[in-house]
Structure 1
Amino acid sequence: MLLHEPGRYPVAYFPIVGIPSGVLEPGEHTTRHRDLGPTSWYTVRSGEQSRQRAAWQHTELPDHAAELKGRVAFAWRAMDAFYEEDERIVGHAADNYHRIGIRRTGRHLVVRAGDRTVADSGRPLVLHESGCAPRWYVPRADIDETALTPVEGQTFCPYKGLCDYYDIGEARRAARSYRNAYREVDRIGDPVSFEPGEVDVHLDGVRLRLEPGQKVASPGVDRNLDLDETHPVGQP
């Protein structure tokens, strides 16, 4: 069963009766969910491996959430892998209600880091994504790529693919690019997007600011991912 909560990634809950004996070890750690009540945490064991606080169960569910009774969720980052049918799901579970739209625009976008102009384009792409502020992608031909320093550590988006990051001077992870974007969003596969909280991004002469309430917390840098794993079966 997939639980959707505002501002959070979808979370899968599994019937506890379907979990092999010995996998879940009750712990002393408890928390309280603001909507679902008291929550007990488990250590997850498999062979000689164990992960503390790697699964949880809501123990006193309100009537409106009774369907979650007897179900347990596993912490995404504590597990080695999640699967739907025979395909590995990476990053986090996808939300079927999540939408992405990409449009070409003739608006003027300029990116500066201090006195240096990093990008100047009259043909950016704008990406609209559910719950997020519009994100602007600049063709590499309109970017001074000598300003971009690739950094280690990629993240994964189940809607766009594997994301690379760049430092710009002292600004850390100030730009991003999906150079191996999924086919459905391959229009952003080469362009670069800049973080208005790290460098100065001006759109038609107006400086962009981070918009409160529209930024979803990053799931963090993914472990042990390679390009083959991030593409579903049958997709290049």
Structure 2
Amino acid sequence: MGLSWQQGPLAPGAIGRFLVPEPLPERLLFAEPLRRRMRVRFGGTWIVDSEDVVLLHEPGRYPVAYFARSDVEPGALEPMQHRTTHRDLGATAWFAARAGDARTERAAWQHVDLPAHAAVLEGRVAFAWRAMEAFYEEDDRIVGHAADAYHRNDVRRTSRHLVVREGGRVVADSHAPLVLYETGFAPRWYVPRRDIDEAALTAVAGQTFCPYKGLASYYSIGDADRAAWSYREAWPEVAAVRDLVSFEPDRVEVTLDGAVLRLERGQKVMPHGVDRGLDVEELLTR
């Protein structure tokens, strides 16, 4: 979630509210020091290595890392004629990235006419995530978008009774599911495979990745396409749900203590593209 996307407090879809007498502005941007060393790789080399990074939280967007221009390798950015206007931050200049024989246009941008209240971004440049080969915090690759300090996952055990049915067939019946609370998302229920009729699950092609949980594999159940998923090799942060299965309540019937679950706000994920050069093997060995 973070502050400004999904259902965060500064997001357009926020489910909470600030207890203040006057309405807040329609859009609030929040910038803060990241306080982590971050590196950017392009053309087989490091073009940025910085401990001076500002993270910008903008409504409806993933957080974006802004680097001091002094930490960018000389010659790595080539000014372009292309210009845009940011609705809050003003005129924006764009750059091509160059390293060795590699060159990509519209790979980075800088706000060049900032309002006084946004001076913290003065002289800073941000890089288009998919245009770069990789982003790192220290020696660990960060995938999807800049890591958000306000995003977390908590996994809790429960003895509540969860049943999954498809067309009258019982697919799962468990008194020991796990519930995953992910900041800004509605709860997701994960079922141990011992409580699942795995003959009902048909693996389908196509995987997705989550910057916080890892690589997800999908299953169809009867006529319900991609009705379930599993993080077969979930990352250590959510190791408790590794190889468990979760079910989409809008595609199959899921009941919890007899109550039918419905798709809630916060159960649809804002899409983002797969990182350039990112392969399944690297995800699994992160």
Same fold (TM over 0.5): yes
SS in 1 for 2:226: strand
The one-letter amino acid paired with 2:270 is A
Q: Structure 1, residues 198-224: CA drift from partner, whole Å, max 9, x if none?
A: 333222232222223564413344553
Query: Is 1:90 matched with 2:143?
Result: yes
Kindly indicate whether the alpha-carbon contact (under 8 Å) linking 1:3 and 1:10 is maintained by their aligned counterparts in 2. Answer: yes
Kindly indicate whether the alpha-carbon contact (under 8 Å) linking 1:131 and 1:215 is maintained by their aligned counterparts in 2. Answer: no
Q: Post-superposition shift, 1:22?
A: 5.1
Aligned-partner Cα distance in 2 for 1:53–1:207: 48
Q: Which residue is 1:189 aligned to?
A: 242
The one-letter amino acid paired with 1:145 is E
Aligned-partner Cα distance in 2 for 1:50–1:191: 42
Closer, same or farther: CA 97–146 of 1 in aligned 2, 3 Å: same
Alignment of 1:85-124 (within 5 A): 85-124=138-177
Q: Which residue is 2:84 aligned to?
A: 30
Query: Is 1:165 matched with 2:222?
Result: no
Closer, same or farther: CA 204–6 of 1 in aligned 2, 3 Å: farther
Q: Structure 1, residues 1-56: CA drift from partner, whole Å, max 9, x if none?
A: 222345533221112343332533424252534x3334343333333333333322
- TM-score (ref. length: structure 1): 0.82
Q: Post-superposition shift, 1:176?
A: 1.7
Kindly indicate whether the alpha-carbon contact (under 8 Å) linking 2:81 and 2:94 is maintained by their aligned counterparts in 1. Answer: yes
Alignment of 1:11-90 (within 5 A): 11-19=64-72, 20-21=74-75, 23-28=77-82, 30-33=84-87, 35-90=88-143
- TM-score (ref. length: structure 2): 0.70
Kindly indicate whether the alpha-carbon contact (under 8 Å) linking 2:163 and 2:255 is maintained by their aligned counterparts in 1. Answer: yes
| Structure 2: runs of 5+ lacking an equivalent | 1-52
The one-letter amino acid paired with 2:121 is L
Closer, same or farther: CA 104–64 of 1 in aligned 2, 3 Å: same
Instruction: Identify which of 138, 148, 162 aligns with 2:201.
Output: 148
Could you say what the CA RMSD is over the residues aligned between the two structures, in angstroms? 2.6
Q: Post-superposition shift, 1:227?
A: 4.0
Kindly indicate whether the alpha-carbon contact (under 8 Å) linking 1:153 and 1:221 is maintained by their aligned counterparts in 2. Answer: no
Q: Post-superposition shift, 1:170?
A: 4.2
The one-letter amino acid paired with 2:220 is D
Aligned-partner Cα distance in 1 for 2:206–2:161: 31
SS in 2 for 1:218: coil
Aligned-partner Cα distance in 2 for 1:116–1:77: 43
Aligned-partner Cα distance in 1 for 2:260–2:281: 35
Of 202-211 and 16-25, deviating more is: 16-25
Q: Structure 1, residues 146-198: CA drift from partner, whole Å, max 9, x if none?
A: 23232333333333222222233443432221121223321100211112233
Q: Post-superposition shift, 1:104?
A: 1.1
Aligned-partner Cα distance in 1 for 2:200–2:95: 47
